Structure 1
Amino acid sequence: MPDIVVVYHSGYGHTQRMAQAVADGAGAELLPIDAEGHLPEGGWERLAAADAIIFGSPTYMGSVSWQFKKFADASSKAWYAQAWKDKVAAGFTNSAGMNGDKLATLQTLFTLAMQHGMIWVSQGLMPSNTKAALRNDVNYLGAYSGAMAQSPADAGAQDMLPGDLETARLFGQRVAQVTARFRQA
């Protein structure tokens, strides 16, 4: 089984809940970025040992949280050593707005992965975009670059839609399958 780590920041619990769903699908370990933008002890070593790293951040003001950005900037030591080169990478985000500029956040995560020479995995799910589609359907937001979820600003993490969480779980599962294929090569 591939060794996968989900490294994420969550401000209000929604992204943490999404990270758990991604990790459940991928059989991955969670590695939270704290409120000061730091990893727990041994976090950098854990990322260096992983076959795949899945990045997660809420979308705040059209990009990643400052805590995630601090982590990304601190990854320059791994970048300099090319420690993550050829690892599988993917990303996910959540915001209050239906659009909320989540794609900009995914592009930031993608760019971080490309800077590190990583191999990006897409969502791999068809969108739920017919007249019969319901907001709780899998990939209702129609994301391709990574997993997206939407949580109303006045809703707690416990109120996240099962369809968004299932989208995240399936995304994690896809990352694990792709990572397993790369390990066999």
Structure 2
Amino acid sequence: MAKVAVVFHSGYGHTQRLAQSVADGANAELIAIDADGNVPEGAWDTLAAADAIIFGSPTYMGTVSWQFKKFADASSKPWYTQAWKDKIFGGFTNSANINGDKHSTLHYFMTLAMQHGGLWAGTGISYNNTKASQRSDVNYLASSAGPMAQVAGDAGAAEMNPGDLETGRLFGARIQEVASKFRG
């Protein structure tokens, strides 16, 4: 089994809940970026030892939170030594709006992964785009790049859509599968 780490920032608990679903699917270790943009003791060692790294952040104003950006800027140390080269990468996000410019956040993650010499893995999950589709279906928001979740601005993390959470879990399982193939 590959070692997978999910490094994420959550402002109001929604991204944390999605991160847990992704981690459950990937059998991954969670690394929470705190409100000051810092990671806990040992996080950089966990990321160095990981076969795959999954990024997570809410989409704020069309991109990652400033806390995630602080983490990304701090990753210039492993970048300098190419410590994350050839690792598998993926990412996920959520916002209050159906679109919410979430693709900008996923593209930010992709760029960061490419700067580190990583290999990006998308969802690998088909869309539910028929008249019979329901909002609670898996990958209803139709992202190939990484899971997107949507939660109304006045809804708590406990009210997250089960289809979005299942999309996260399936994505985590895909990252584990891909990373295990590359690890072998």
> TM-score by structure 2 length?
0.99
Query: Residues of 2 paired with 1:26 and 1:170: CA distance?
Result: 8
1:18 partner letter:
L
SS at 2:18 equivalent: helix
Alpha-carbon distance, 1:85 to partner: 0.3
2:6 matched residue in structure 1? 6
Matched, 1:85 2:85: yes
Q: Kindly report structure 1 stretches of 4+ aligned residues shifted beyond 2 Å.
A: none
Alpha-carbon distance, 1:151 to partner: 0.5
1:157 partner letter:
A
**Superposition pairs of residues 35-184 of structure 1, within 5 angstroms:** 35-184=35-184
SS at 1:135 equivalent: coil
Alpha-carbon distance, 1:34 to partner: 0.4
Query: Residues of 1 paired with 2:116 and 2:126: CA distance?
Result: 28
SS at 1:94 equivalent: strand
Query: Residues of 2 paired with 1:36 and 1:112: CA distance?
Result: 20
Tell me the alpha carbon deviations over residues 113-161 of structure 1, each in whole angstroms, 9 at most, x when there is no partner: 0000001001100111000000000000000001110000000000001
Query: Kindly, what percent of the aligned residue pairs are identical?
Result: 66
Query: Residues of 2 paired with 1:165 and 1:122: CA distance?
Result: 16
Query: Residues of 1 paired with 2:42 and 2:180: CA distance?
Result: 24
Alpha-carbon distance, 1:69 to partner: 0.3
2:70 partner letter:
K
Query: Residues of 1 paired with 2:97 and 2:161: CA distance?
Result: 14
2:164 partner letter:
D
Query: Residues of 2 paired with 1:173 and 1:46: CA distance?
Result: 19
Query: Residues of 2 paired with 1:166 and 1:83: CA distance?
Result: 31
Alpha-carbon distance, 1:108 to partner: 0.2
SS at 1:30 equivalent: strand
Q: Once superposed, what is the RMSD of the aligned Cα atoms?
A: 0.4
Query: Residues of 2 paired with 1:106 and 1:177: CA distance?
Result: 21
> TM-score by structure 1 length?
0.99
